[in-house]
Amino acid sequence: MDEAGPFQTVPYPGHSWEGQGHPQHQPHEYIRNGTAKLLTLFHPADGQLRTKGVTRTTNAVLHDWLKQELSEILAALPDPATAPTPETIRAVWSTWTAGLTSYPPLPAEPVAARMLLIMDNLTGHVTPAWVMWLFEHGIIPLYTPLGGSWLNMAESIQRIIEGRALEGQHPETPAEIIDWLEAATRGWNRQPTPFVWGGKRAARRFRSRRRRHALGGSGACTHRPIRRRKTVLGKWLHSSQVTH
């Protein structure tokens, strides 16, 4: 889960299809008519994306939307084949909270865990009422560390949706921004792409690193090894050692 934005009513750079000799023009002046944000809930395993465009992201707006969406997702999950015992439930929660120094206290009788919800550690995400609602519905909140927003895959899908919706456009109202972002979400969900850690791109980077040869200290690389020449001093030391 994450929040994208704010998106302003300004011209956004990007590519567009135009007739030869008639490039698209963007105005040099614009009026700030407010901003829009995009609430995002992303399931990496199947690529399904749920979004909602808003003009403000107070706790009331964010939590109400999340509760509605998460309740629908939980209702669609299959029931477990066997009901877990209280000991098993406590063991699962203990596994996910082990080693955490600032995790909220669990209820005396926790509900069976059914979902992991990854969020950043904004103040609104750790309010007691919100966290207790998650516990009561079997949702384990996991918070990304400071400077670790890249661990949240919602960040990646937001950049994709933002590019598809706003590149080359000049929205004049927040309502237009919201409509375009939500339309891009519907287009994405027609053929969603699952996200995995690593994947083909990481494999290509690994093969590329194996084809390069690192140089000392600077981080630079070459595509072929550089021949190292022996110095006269090195030859003299080598010959003197052999003679000795």
Domain of 27: which CATH number? 3.30.420.10
pLDDT band for position 189 (50/70/90)? very high
Q: Are residues 221 and 131 in the same domain?
A: no
Q: Are residues 83 and 19 in the same domain?
A: yes
| Amino acid letter for position 112 | A
Q: Are residues 139 and 157 in the same domain?
A: yes
Q: Are residues 46 and 164 in the same domain?
A: yes
Q: Are residues 220 and 186 in the same domain?
A: no
Are the beta carbons of 32 and 16 closer than 8 angstroms?
A: no
Q: Are residues 146 and 50 in the same domain?
A: yes
Q: Are residues 169 and 233 in the same domain?
A: no
Q: Are residues 27 and 76 in the same domain?
A: yes
3-state secondary structure of 143: strand
Query: In what helix (H) or strand (E) does residue 72 lie, and over which residues does it extend?
Result: helix 59-76
Q: Are residues 57 and 172 in the same domain?
A: yes
C-beta atoms surrounding 100 within 10 Å = 10
- Average pLDDT of the segment spanning 67-92: 85
pLDDT value at position 233?
Answer: 52
- Structural domain of 93: 2-190
Last residue of a domain, one of 168, 190, 212: 190
Q: Are residues 147 and 203 in the same domain?
A: no
Q: Which of 38-52, 69-83, 192-206 has the lowest mean pLDDT?
A: 192-206
pLDDT value at position 231?
Answer: 57
What is the C-alpha separation between 62 and 117, in angstroms, rounded? Answer: 14
Q: Which of 22-31, 39-48, 100-109, 231-240 has the lowest mean pLDDT?
A: 231-240
**207-243 pLDDT, tens digit each:** 777 777 776 666 677 777 777 666 555 555 555 555 5
Q: Which two tokens stand for residue 241?
A: 């050692």
Report phi then psi at 133, rounded to 5.
-65, -40
Are the beta carbons of 130 and 59 closer than 8 angstroms?
A: yes
Q: Which two tokens stand for residue 22?
A: 């008639």
In the predicted structure, residue 87 carries a pLDDT above the cut 60: yes
Question: Domains in the chain: how many in total?
Answer: 2
Q: Are residues 218 and 130 in the same domain?
A: no
pLDDT value at position 153?
Answer: 86
- Average pLDDT of the segment spanning 146-150: 74
Q: Are residues 185 and 210 in the same domain?
A: no
Query: How high does pLDDT run on average in the chain?
Result: 81
Task: Write the CB contacts of 166 (distance below 8 Å, at least 6 apart in sequence).
Answer: 7, 12, 14, 177, 180, 181
Last residue of a domain, one of 167, 190, 213: 190
Are the beta carbons of 31 and 65 closer than 8 angstroms?
A: no
Q: Quick one: which of 179, 190, 189, 192 has its CA closest to 38?
A: 179
